[in-house]
Amino acid sequence: MVRIAGVEIKDEKRLMFALPKIYGIGKALAEKICRELSIDPMKKTKELTPEEIGKLEKYINENLKVEGELRREIQANIRRLIDIQCYRGLRHLRKLPVWGQRTRTNARTRKGPRKTVGSGKRKVSKK
């Protein structure tokens, strides 16, 4: 297995489909990286030479924010929104959708499973 940016990449995957396993790299960016480094994107990762692996590692470390660094930046941005108490920050704080989706129905991913609410009356036990 090849290790790039702290992520194990499987040997049997083609490079274009293996690089998106790294947080912060999608398919389009993986293709761009391969094109700039003149590496065949359809080459399997086990076929990469040590020089190509080194070029990939160096390019990703120097030019991109990936994995932990990117996650920290995103969390810092969300924390800033919460601290200044803007609308988006309050939506994050309340664990509701941020980008204007309806919440009367749907939004179950963000809100979690439904909580059943009773009528408020207690049942009278018969004795």
Residue 46 lies in a domain: yes
Same-domain pairing of 94 and 48: no
What percentage of the chain reaches a pLDDT higher than 90?
80
Same-domain pairing of 62 and 95: no
Q: Domain limits at 108?
A: 84-114
Same-domain pairing of 61 and 96: no
pLDDT of residue 38: 94
At residue 125, does pLDDT exceed 90? no
Same-domain pairing of 7 and 48: yes
The predicted model scores a pTM of 0.77
Tens digits of per-residue pLDDT, 68-90? 999 999 999 999 999 999 999 99
Residue 51 lies in a domain: yes
Tens digits of per-residue pLDDT, 14-50? 999 999 999 999 999 999 999 999 999 999 999 999 9
Same-domain pairing of 88 and 63: no
Same-domain pairing of 93 and 50: no
Same-domain pairing of 61 and 28: yes
Same-domain pairing of 63 and 103: no
User: Over the chain, what HEC string results?
Assistant: CEEECCEEECCCCEHHHHHHHCCCCCHHHHHHHHHHCCCCCCCEHHHCCHHHHHHHHHHHHHHCCCHHHHHHHHHHHHHHHHHCCCHHHHHHHCCCCCCCCCCCCCCHHHHCCCCCCCCCCCCCCCC
The pLDDT mean for the chain works out to 92
Same-domain pairing of 59 and 89: no
